[in-house]
Structure 1
């Protein structure tokens, strides 16, 4: 799961930095993945798993002259202090309380991350496999579907199944 999130963060960060996506151009309405990624670019937690933590600053440096650094900072969810490089006065840390901890959670980022995980094909396959395995303990049909998936995974077993069946109809009938 962390690898899926890392790859997606890397993809979004690279599109932001090198292609100028969301700054110079917007993804098409049909691009569901691009529309979903728009949700995360202005969150404070992004990028969390990707190693380049300064990707937002690089985007501001690259496109700030053309489109205005303030506008891009607003688009990327950076506050004015992120643009200011002057010495900052240290403020006293707030008391740790349950309310401050709950308000510090970046819910938008976590919703995006859940969406990335739940739409990943390998995760969906493993979830389906686990569900069929569990249901196979209670009903033989699910156990057969589980075994059929395993049989189709091996080339020799797939060849045998395709030679003795006609389009898989006999397998599903038995």
Structure 2
């Protein structure tokens, strides 16, 4: 049996690094054509993987979604456009290691900062996270500035929620 396992292992090619873009729709569909579970999303090791997952959700509902550059993104991770209506959105993604974590006010502050940098008119603003809750400061600043928080309980339908807001 050990020899058989060695033989199989020698025939496998495992890339040293694979980005979310290289996976394409794999983040949306997950394994064997099913959507990823929240627990699988929690296991993402890098924020870029979470961003790619959110982009796949947005693309699957017909929105044009583009990642911003990794550093100096001026508070935006994803720029979204509904090409039918011309409306746009700025998304700040925050991945946490588990659903029991909270998202802080920094996430809202970042997406608010992005409005002045990206020339999108009056975009809708979103913070999308796998965190199960938001701090009181985060909720307060989000409410005062019309930033929509999509927490863990809405994560699997984030694409639909954002699409509906841009109709």
The TM tier, using the shorter chain, reads under 0.3
Q: Which has the higher helix share?
A: 1
The structure with the largest strand share of the pair is 2
TM-score by length of 2: 0.25
> Higher Cα Rg: structure 1 or 2?
1
Give the alignment's TM-score, normalised by structure 1. Answer: 0.24
